[in-house]
Amino acid sequence: AGEVVERPASVVKELVENALDAESTRIQVEIAAGGRSLIRVTDDGTGMGRDDALLCLERHATSKIRSAEDLASIQTMGFRGEALPSIASVCRFVLTTRERSDTSGEANQLIIQGGNLAEVKAAASPPGTTVEVRQLFFNLPARRKFLRSDETERAHIQHYLTLAALSHPRVGFTFISDGRIVWQLPPLAFTSEAERGAALQE
């Protein structure tokens, strides 16, 4: 089952779910023109080494399933290895990632144009992963034509992010649209269900 990228919100959903699976404590989502011209998702998760970064863009390559038995007890939101290659095939895509354990200060950056790997280089970056998606559907004008107004697409993204933030109060979320901070939600610590309820209300 190929991952169908219908609209900018589909891209945000897949990238944020990857960030959550990577044990991030802070996730920043930045968009421009309702996600049409830019979607940038930055996390402070576990990150990837060079080999894993290259492999994650291959279809059906996933770090979330180690054996057939794992399919009976899935703990992650993604596990089929479809989302990143599907997204990368319909945009100008830049992946910058550095493992949390890497003390060199050097990240790996992959540049993909319409699904084709254009360049792999070193870049300065904090631990974690940043995925930048520009010019969504630049190579699929028919799909681009079906996108709604910037405001409608932004509302779809904000609706998904609201659900993600409410279901993960321990993770801090920042949402930036056209250079303006829409909201900044700090990560909240709690140990009991009562505290969880208070965290959700906050």
| Per-residue confidence (pLDDT) for residue 169, from 0 to 100 | 93
| Per-residue confidence (pLDDT) for residue 200, from 0 to 100 | 86
Q: What percent of the chain has pLDDT over 90?
A: 74
Say yes or no to pLDDT of 1 above 50.
no
Please report which confidence band the pLDDT of residue 146 belongs to, taking 50, 70 and 90 as the band edges: very high
pLDDT in tens, 92-124: 999 999 999 998 889 999 999 998 999 999 999
User: Model pTM?
Assistant: 0.89
pLDDT in tens, 73-99: 656 555 555 889 999 999 999 999 999
Say yes or no to pLDDT of 127 above 50.
yes
| Per-residue confidence (pLDDT) for residue 64, from 0 to 100 | 53
Say yes or no to pLDDT of 2 above 70.
no
Please tell me the least confidently modeled range out of 1-15, 57-71, 158-172.
Answer: 57-71
Q: Is 178 exposed, middle or buried (0-12, 13-18, 19+ CB in 10 A)?
A: middle
Q: How far is CA 2 from CA 19, 67, 112, 125, in A?
A: 20, 21, 19, 31
pLDDT in tens, 25-53: 999 999 999 999 999 999 999 999 999 89
d(CA 98, CA 79): 21
DSSP category for residue 76: S
Strand (E) or helix (H) holding 9: helix 8-21
